[in-house]
Amino acid sequence: MTEEENRAYPRAGLKWAVSAKVDGKVIEGVTKDISVSGAYVCCAKPLRLNEVVDMVITAPYESQSVKAEVVWSNIYGPDDNINPRGMGVLFLEISGEDRKVIAKAVTNHLKTLNTTVEDIKSGAS
């Protein structure tokens, strides 16, 4: 089974701005990919594993505020072109409306790639 088939929700390679405030400092980044359950955020100074942070994800036309936990962190990525420095986050708190916005954007992006959410969930892609 591939990593994509193991995921509970499909993800799409959408590049959205992200900002998080930690200990009075603002961390800026951009999503590499996103789903309704989490995202990979490329940033110069990723947070440590298990840190919980309030984030603002800026999608086209609107922003989503989420509380997220760092579940994977690549602090020392030697080559950002191969494995970008950043962190995987799991959304702990996200409004139903924000979840719908992300789900719609992911579905629309995947449709542009001639793939539907149903194809991914059934493993037909």
pLDDT tens column, 17-73: 999 988 888 999 999 999 999 999 999 889 999 999 999 999 988 899 999 999 999
pTM: 0.80
Q: Which residues pair with 38 in a beta bridge?
A: 90
Residue 2 has pLDDT above 50, yes or no: no
In angstroms, rounded to a whole number, what is the distance separating the alpha carbons of residues 86 and 43? 5
CATH fold of the domain at 3-108: Thrombin, subunit H (2.40.10)
Place of tokens 């990979």: 40
pLDDT tens column, 62-104: 899 999 999 999 877 666 666 688 999 999 999 999 999 999 9
- Distance linking the first and last C-alpha atoms of the chain: 12
Average of per-residue pLDDT across 96-119: 82
Q: Where are the domains of the chain?
A: 3-108
